[in-house]
């Protein structure tokens, strides 16, 4: 009875497998989803150990996803009703979840421990405030700045970083020769927005109901950038690459100026042999505009134990771990007390890193591209698609802006 | 007694069918219906479902450029199937001839089919690389270009590049199917035709092609289904970029559902995809007169 | 009829074969030298060969864990396919009420590509509480219509007399299937095994959404994750590619003959 | 029965399994993780009391794992190392630093004695 035996084998096998670990989170288990920090494994195990000193009977599951996978993953987990309790979200992605009432309002928790509330930087906390509710607390903070390759500036006879959009493009043209290009920017989220901000462009009308970016100055700026890109003064990777490609390009020493946020520096220094205090310059973008790209901790609405989740967040962001994180992964944490210590540490250990990190807490009043729009993700997608087409010379700037305007308004109406 | 036995046999037969039918019911029929329902609702995991009529379809057909782009791309991708099939036919004819080492050739040409598509995508992604890619290296050495082309970042090249990779993987499979067809043609037909003084061309046109119809039709349908389902290659090679230049319906469905978190809209897209697939296959069926019985799924 | 020289044919086939093999050769070469990532221009033949990239893969990711997951899922799928498809295929060779309907149903199901139903399929799997389990990964693939027809074709080819004789000896359907049909249609079994294996081994989209934590990842998923974390900055990526490609190629290489036989018999007659 | 034992599938996959197991047995029995080498000065003479740091190379970072002092013959030894890909750097105040030298092993815990000494540069 070969077949019968097969059937039995099959049945047994399936039965065996069906009994496999299921992730419908048990009461005494919380799960934590971080954003692309697998290298930090050992320390996160430290968080968990500390957390379990307070709650010995609670299991902690740690998950990590890289940027592009993070959103889709969280989405599938939302559908399955197994969304991780504690989530580490980058940039504006949290807005959509907050607006759809998918996140826990942390206000009450903060009200309950005021010392924790005062622990976080009061000028940074509001950036996770949506319609009067506090949905996130800072995990680590970053915003864009301008790195420049002093050697290349010197070769082009330039003595200082640009002070205006016109200068920026002009400098880029002077440096962009042959294999070399003068300027490059990161483009994910809204990191390229300072380029528009310094031309006085607003994305939306003050009431946030209509698109407001389709202006002559915007068209002019876009056109200028497109031309500069076509001539190789602005590196094409600015509009095609995501993270690794632009960093590698700058690390290769063939790009004059690079608008990116602090974490890019440490990636670049890892692979760029040329980088030292004498060769790498650090400045604010013209006009001091910068787009934040900070990470915050939030709690999923579906969490069965928000109280435990909150305790975990407190551990992960406390002075000990904040300092460890800042000094190991070279970031500031949005907790002033910790950040001062981190800065002191780097001033001593690594002056160049210090000069970079310092910029991250300067002119926090010049933050742009961080509007609290429920449909941020969709708007970003629609807007950038058109802008990218123009920047890569597939569409005239005016037409691209018009179409972007149409789409964005459509999204806002839906 | 006899009646009872017949009933028992009927029961046995249905028992034999049960598991398969259950699976298809669970993962083909029900999802189809569910999709239809989802597509006329406003629904998200965070909000209760409400009836929305043709809201999503209106959005899709009237306002969503990306939908039309991905639809166009899907059709282009589909249109590449005949190329692969022609190639496969030619190869099959060659390796079918009483040639020394033909089994080796067959094996080599077929070997790309069982390969994991994700890995294939990674390999080609890197063959196409602007700086390190073998293809660019060869082009430069041949003096055809002086600077490497960033194939997968280029609006003009991304789609052809992906298609080449896709054909590279599927052609062997097509070849085997055509080969099967060729071998089922009785040789004496050719001999008879030869005696009647028909030259090769005539023999090919009058005997080979007509008798190969089922196999070719099968390839065609597989190609069509492929163009509606090949997610892996795109996901690994381009993620639908640059600027949606390689976005197919299937990848757009994934994006809509899990990146833009609009599962209901994605469901509507799925319905359209399915209707389209049926229409195209039906048309192909009519055109080639192939019998639908030969249609095989290409999971 | 007159023989034409065969060398042009050989030439063409050699070129094609080269086109098919080069990418594989290239990735294999890179995985043991790092050429084309660090060394440029690349050398045609590997120099200073080493296996360190494989060592990296081995230690940087729980490769064995992924291998086990993939193998387990594939095993379920293969067993499921052979058993269920054989049963269904055999049933289709018998006469019974509603047969036409069943055949029609199966044929129309063929036109529903699984990829196009992922969203409800995901919700269903959730209701079955099978998300992030091996069974949940395998179930949708556990019976495939193609293979049912491959079996049907093979069984139809079995001489009636044998079956009648068996019936007279009083064998039940299951016994006939097990003792006569299957032993006489090894090619069909081979086709089933290989197709089922290849499909589940390479399956990507389904695991991509069903799997929650790293411990449940299958190889394709692990590979794409590896890529997204590292881009192509290390030869380890290509070592990883080779490691996942080997099983598929091996299985095919070993069973190629039966596979082609079975497929061809099923494909055209089915 | 012999058919099952000797068909080509069992043979091929069996052979793979066996070799893997054999390899792991070898690894298990040879994982002392003893890494030894020498440090010399610019003049090529052995340097005593230099500090040698061992950093493990993970996929993206360098993690400091251990440090050792050189003896009078300039020799240093790390025991029980688990890194299969690491970087050594020697330094001594007043004498200088060495280049960062990277080493790879076939498996974690493999013992290695480095013939080429680490040379301190002022």
pLDDT in tens, C118-130: 889 999 999 999 9
Token reading at B158: 């991304």
- DSSP assignment string, A33-69: EEES-GGGHHHHHHHHHHHHHH-TT-EEEEEEE-HHH
Tell me the residue range of the domain where B280 lies: 54-294
Residue with tokens 């993780």: D33
Token reading at A126: 């509001």
Q: What is the mean pLDDT of chain C?
A: 85
Beta-carbon separation of C213 and A23 below 8 A? yes
Mean pLDDT of the C152-170 span? 86
Annotated domain spans of chain C:
1-50, 55-269
Token reading at C77: 């799928």
List of domains in chain A: 29-142+293-362 (3.40.190.10), 144-291+375-413 (3.40.190.10)
For chain C, the straight-line distance linking the first and the last C-alpha, in angstroms and rounded, comes to 34
Beta-carbon separation of D59 and C250 below 8 A? no
Distances (CA, A) of B21 to A100, A242, C83, C85, C138: 39, 46, 13, 10, 16
What band does A291 get if pLDDT is binned at 50, 70 and 90? very high
What is the tens place of the pLDDT at every residue in A101-154?
Answer: 889 999 999 999 888 888 998 888 888 999 889 999 999 999 999 999 999 999
Mean pLDDT of the C235-251 span? 87
Mean pLDDT of the D11-15 span? 87
Of A71, A100, A385, the CB nearest to B47: A100
What band does D11 get if pLDDT is binned at 50, 70 and 90? confident
* Cα B226 to Cα D68: distance, rounded to the nearest angstrom: 60
pLDDT for the residue A184: 95
Share of chain B above pLDDT 70, in %: 96
- DSSP assignment string, C111-179: TS-GGGGHHHHHHHHHHTT-TTSHHHHHGGGS--HHHHHHHHHHHHTS-HHHHHHHHHTT--HHHHIII
For chain A, the straight-line distance linking the first and the last C-alpha, in angstroms and rounded, comes to 63
D contacts of A270 (beta carbons < 8 Å): 60
Q: Which residues of chain C are at the A interface, by a Cβ-Cβ cutoff of 8 Å?
A: 72, 75-76, 79-80, 82-83, 86, 122-123, 126, 129-135, 138, 174-175, 177-179, 182, 209-210, 212-215, 225, 228-229, 231, 233
Pick from D104, D107, D108, D110 the residue to mutate for testing the C interface (most C CBs within 10 Å): D104
Q: How far D12 CA lies from chain A's nearest CA (Å)?
A: 23
Distances (CA, A) of A269 to A160, A235, A283, C198, D100: 21, 19, 17, 43, 16
Ranges A398-402, C253-257, D69-73: which has the least confidence: C253-257
Q: What count of CB pairs under 8 Å joins C to D?
A: 29
B60-64: long-range contacts at Cβ-Cβ below 8 A with a sequence spacing of 24 or more? Answer: B60/B265, B60/B268, B60/B269, B60/B272, B63/A410
Mean pLDDT of the A331-346 span? 92
Q: Is the per-residue pLDDT at C139 higher than 70?
A: yes
Beta-carbon separation of B109 and C16 below 8 A? yes
Are A79 and A279 within 8 A, CB to CB?
A: no
Q: What is the mean pLDDT of chain D?
A: 86
**Could you tell me if residue B266 is inside a domain?**
yes
pLDDT for the residue C217: 92
Q: Is the peptide bond before C41 cis (omega within 30 degrees of 0)?
A: yes
Same domain, B164 and B16: no
Mean pLDDT of the C96-114 span? 85
Q: Is the per-residue pLDDT at A25 higher than 70?
A: no
Given this structure, which CATH class describes domain D35-121? mainly beta
Mean pLDDT of the B244-260 span? 91
Mean pLDDT of the B183-210 span? 82
pLDDT for the residue A31: 93
Q: What is the mean pLDDT of chain A?
A: 88
Mean pLDDT of the D1-23 span? 81
**Could you tell me if residue B275 is inside a domain?**
yes
In total, how many domains does chain B have? 2
* Cα A144 to Cα A44: distance, rounded to the nearest angstrom: 26
Q: What DSSP character marks residue B25?
A: I
Are A272 and A251 within 8 A, CB to CB?
A: yes
What band does B1 get if pLDDT is binned at 50, 70 and 90? low
**Could you tell me if residue B44 is inside a domain?**
no
What band does A250 get if pLDDT is binned at 50, 70 and 90? very high
The subunits that touch chain C, with at least 3 C-beta pairs less than 8 Å apart, are A, B, D
Distances (CA, A) of C263 to B180, B290, C150, C188, C203: 8, 18, 7, 7, 20
Q: What is the mean pLDDT of chain B?
A: 86
What band does C214 get if pLDDT is binned at 50, 70 and 90? confident
Q: Which of A161, A196, A157, A195 is nearest to A177 (CA)?
A: A157
pLDDT for the residue C198: 87
Are A190 and A259 within 8 A, CB to CB?
A: no
Whether B156 contacts chain A with CB within 8 A:
no
* Cα C46 to Cα B16: distance, rounded to the nearest angstrom: 55
Q: Which of B235, B78, B248 is nearest to B167 (CA)?
A: B78
Beta-carbon separation of A22 and C231 below 8 A? no
Same domain, B15 and B133: no
Pick from B243, B254, B265 the residue to mutate for testing the A interface (most A CBs within 10 Å): B243
Same domain, B1 and B101: no
Mean pLDDT of the A283-298 span? 92
* Residue B269 or B221, more confident: B269
pLDDT for the residue B130: 83
What is the tens place of the pLDDT at every residue in C34-45?
Answer: 776 666 677 788
Strand extents, DSSP E, chain B: 41-44, 47-51
B205-210: long-range contacts at Cβ-Cβ below 8 A with a sequence spacing of 24 or more? Answer: B208/B93, B208/B182
Q: Is the per-residue pLDDT at C75 higher than 50?
A: yes
What band does C65 get if pLDDT is binned at 50, 70 and 90? very high
pLDDT for the residue D2: 60
**Could you tell me if residue B273 is inside a domain?**
yes
Ranges B86-90, C10-14, D68-72, D95-99: which has the least confidence: D95-99
Mean pLDDT of the A172-181 span? 89
H or E stretch including A31? strand A29-35
Q: Is the per-residue pLDDT at B278 higher than 80?
A: yes
Same domain, B33 and B124: no
Q: Which of A87, A51, A58 is nearest to A299 (CA)?
A: A87
Whether B150 contacts chain A with CB within 8 A:
yes
Q: What is the CATH number of domain C55-269?
A: 1.10.3720.10
The subunits that touch chain A, with at least 3 C-beta pairs less than 8 Å apart, are B, C, D
Annotated domain spans of chain D:
1-30, 35-121
**Could you tell me if residue B211 is inside a domain?**
yes
D contacts of A39 (beta carbons < 8 Å): 58-61
Helices A336-349 and A319-329 pack at an angle, to 10 degrees, of 40
**Could you tell me if residue B48 is inside a domain?**
no
Q: How far C66 CA lies from chain D's nearest CA (Å)?
A: 16
pLDDT for the residue A10: 58
Beta-carbon separation of C212 and A7 below 8 A? no
Same domain, B58 and B33: no
Same domain, B207 and B87: yes
Q: Give the total residue count for chain B.
A: 299
* Cα C129 to Cα C150: distance, rounded to the nearest angstrom: 32
What is the tens place of the pLDDT at every residue in D36-49?
Answer: 999 998 888 888 88
What band does B293 get if pLDDT is binned at 50, 70 and 90? very low
Return the exposure string of D62-89: e unless at least 16 CB atoms fall within 10 Å of the residue's CB, then b.
eeeebebebeeebbbebeebebbbbbbb
Q: Is the per-residue pLDDT at C79 higher than 80?
A: yes
Token reading at A270: 């890892």
pLDDT for the residue A164: 93
Mean pLDDT of the A246-269 span? 90
What band does A273 get if pLDDT is binned at 50, 70 and 90? confident
Mean pLDDT of the D27-31 span? 87
A189 backbone φψ class: left, alpha, beta (φ>0; ψ -120 to 50): left
* Cα C136 to Cα C61: distance, rounded to the nearest angstrom: 23
Beta-carbon separation of C51 and D84 below 8 A? no
* Cα B38 to Cα B264: distance, rounded to the nearest angstrom: 5
């Amino acid at each position: 009875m070969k077949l019968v035996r097969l059937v039995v084998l099959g049945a047994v096998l399936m039965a065996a497998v069906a009994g496999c670990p299921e992730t419908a989170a048990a009461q005494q288990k919380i799960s934590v989803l971080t954003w692309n920090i697998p290298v930090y494994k050992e320390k996160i195990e430290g968080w968990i150990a500390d957390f379990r000193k307070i709650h010995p009977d609670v299991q902690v599951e740690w998950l990590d996803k890289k940027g592009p996978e993070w959103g889709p993953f969280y989405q599938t987990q939302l559908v399955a009703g197994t969304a991780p309790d504690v989530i580490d979200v980058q940039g504006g992605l949290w807005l959509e979840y907050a607006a759809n009432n998918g996140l826990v309002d942390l206000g009450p928790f903060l009200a309950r421990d005021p010392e924790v509330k005062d622990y976080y930087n009061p000028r940074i906390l509001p950036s996770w405030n949506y319609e009067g509710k506090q949905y996130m607390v800072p995990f680590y903070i970053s915003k864009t700045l301008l790195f420049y390759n002093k050697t290349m500036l010197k070769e082009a006879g330039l003595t200082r970083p640009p002070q205006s959009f016109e200068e920026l493009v002009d400098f880029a043209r002077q440096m962009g020769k042959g294999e070399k290009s003068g300027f490059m920017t990161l483009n994910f989220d809204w990191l390229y927005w300072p380029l528009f901000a310094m031309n006085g462009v607003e994305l939306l009308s003050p009431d946030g109901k209509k698109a407001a970016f389709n202006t002559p100055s915007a068209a002019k700026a876009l056109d200028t950038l497109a031309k500069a890109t076509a001539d190789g003064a602005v590196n094409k990777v600015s509009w095609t690459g995501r993270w690794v490609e632009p960093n590698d390009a700058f690390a290769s020493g063939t790009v004059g100026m690079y608008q990116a946020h602090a974490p890019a520096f440490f990636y670049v220094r890892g692979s760029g042999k040329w980088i030292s205090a004498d060769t790498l310059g650090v400045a604010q973008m013209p006009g001091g505009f910068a787009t934040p790209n900070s990470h915050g901790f939030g709690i999923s609405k579906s969490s069965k134990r928000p109280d435990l989740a909150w305790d975990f967040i407190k551990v992960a962001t406390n002075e000990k771990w904040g300092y460890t994180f800042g000094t190991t992964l070279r970031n500031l944490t949005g907790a002033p007390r910790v950040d001062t210590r981190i800065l002191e540490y780097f001033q001593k250990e690594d002056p160049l890193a210090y000069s970079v990190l310092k910029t991250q807490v300067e002119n926090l009043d010049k933050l742009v591209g961080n509007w609290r729009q429920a449909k941020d993700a969709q708007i970003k997608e629609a807007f950038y698609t058109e802008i990218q087409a123009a920047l890569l010379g597939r569409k005239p700037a005016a037409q691209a802006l018009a179409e972007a305007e149409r789409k964005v308004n459509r999204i806002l109406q839906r | 007694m006899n009646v009872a036995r017949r009933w028992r046999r009927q029961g046995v037969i249905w028992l034999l069918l049960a598991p398969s039918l259950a699976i298809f019911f669970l993962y083909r029929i029900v999802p189809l219906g569910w999709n239809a329902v989802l597509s006329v609702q406003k629904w998200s995991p965070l909000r209760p479902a409400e009836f929305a009529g043709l809201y999503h379809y209106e959005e899709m057909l009237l306002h969503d450029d990306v939908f039309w782009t991905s639809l166009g791309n899907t059709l282009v991708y589909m249109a590449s199937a005949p190329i692969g099939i022609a190639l496969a036919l030619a190869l099959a004819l060659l390796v079918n001839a009483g040639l020394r080492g033909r089994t080796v050739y067959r094996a080599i040409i077929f070997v790309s089919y069982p390969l994991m598509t994700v890995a294939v995508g990674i390999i080609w992604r890197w063959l196409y690389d602007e700086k390190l890619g073998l293809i660019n290296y060869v082009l430069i050495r041949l003096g055809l270009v002086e600077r490497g082309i960033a194939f997968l970042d280029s609006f003009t090249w991304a789609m052809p590049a992906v298609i080449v990779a896709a054909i590279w993987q599927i052609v062997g499979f097509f070849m085997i199917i055509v080969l099967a067809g060729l071998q089922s043609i009785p040789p004496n037909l050719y001999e008879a035709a030869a005696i009647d003084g028909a030259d090769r061309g005539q023999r090919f046109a009058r005997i080979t092609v007509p008798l190969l119809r089922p196999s070719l039709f099968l390839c065609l349908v597989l190609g069509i289904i492929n163009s509606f389902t090949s997610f892996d290659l795109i996901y690994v090679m381009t993620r639908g970029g640059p600027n949606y230049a390689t976005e197919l319906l299937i990848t757009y469905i994934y994006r809509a559902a899990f990146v833009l978190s609009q599962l209901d809209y994605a469901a509507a897209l799925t319905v359209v995809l399915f209707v389209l697939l049926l229409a195209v296959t039906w048309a192909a069926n009519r055109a080639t007169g192939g019998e639908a019985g030969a249609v095989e799924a290409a999971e | 009829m007159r023989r034409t020289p065969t060398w042009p044919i050989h030439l063409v086939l050699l070129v094609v074969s080269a086109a098919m093999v080069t990418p594989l050769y290239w990735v294999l070469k890179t995985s043991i030298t790092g050429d084309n990532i660090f060394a440029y221009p690349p050398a045609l033949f590997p120099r200073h060969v080493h296996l360190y990239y494989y060592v990296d893969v081995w230690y940087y990711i729980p490769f064995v864990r992924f291998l086990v997951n993939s193998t387990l899922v594939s095993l379920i799928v293969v067993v499921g396919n052979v058993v269920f498809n054989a049963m269904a295929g055999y049933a289709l060779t018998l006469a019974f009420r509603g047969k036409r309907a069943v055949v029609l149903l199966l044929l129309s199901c063929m036109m529903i590509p699984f990829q196009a139903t992922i969203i409800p399929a995901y919700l269903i799997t959730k209701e079955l509480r099978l998300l992030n389990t091996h069974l949940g990964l395998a179930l949708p693939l556990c019976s495939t219509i193609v293979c049912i027809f491959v079996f049907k074709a093979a069984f139809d080819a079995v001489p009636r007399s044998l079956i009648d004789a068996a019936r007279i000896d009083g064998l039940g359907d299951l016994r006939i299937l097990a003792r006569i049909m299957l032993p006489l249609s090894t090619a069909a079994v081979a086709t089933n095994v290989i197709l089922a294996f290849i499909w589940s081994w390479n399956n990507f989209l389904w695991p991509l959404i069903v799997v929650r934590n790293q411990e449940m990842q299958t190889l394709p998923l692990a590979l794409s994750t590896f890529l997204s974390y590292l881009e192509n900055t290390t030869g380890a990526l290509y070592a990883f590619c080779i490691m996942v490609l080997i099983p598929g190629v091996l299985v095919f290489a070993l069973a190629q003959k039966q596979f082609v036989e079975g497929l061809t018999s099923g494909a055209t007659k089915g | 029965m012999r058919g099952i034992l000797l068909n080509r599938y069992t043979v091929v996959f069996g052979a793979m399994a066996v070799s893997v197991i054999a390899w792991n047995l070898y690894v298990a029995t040879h994982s002392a993780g003893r890494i030894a080498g020498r440090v010399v000065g610019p003049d090529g003479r052995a340097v005593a009391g230099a500090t040698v740091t061992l950093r493990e190379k993970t996929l993206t970072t360098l993690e400091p794992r251990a440090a050792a002092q050189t003896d009078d013959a300039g020799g240093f030894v790390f025991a029980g190392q688990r890194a299969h890909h690491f970087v050594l750097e020697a330094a001594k105040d007043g004498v200088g630093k060495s280049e960062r030298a990277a080493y790879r092993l076939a498996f974690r815990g493999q013992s290695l004695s480095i013939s080429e000494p680490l040379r301190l540069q002022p």
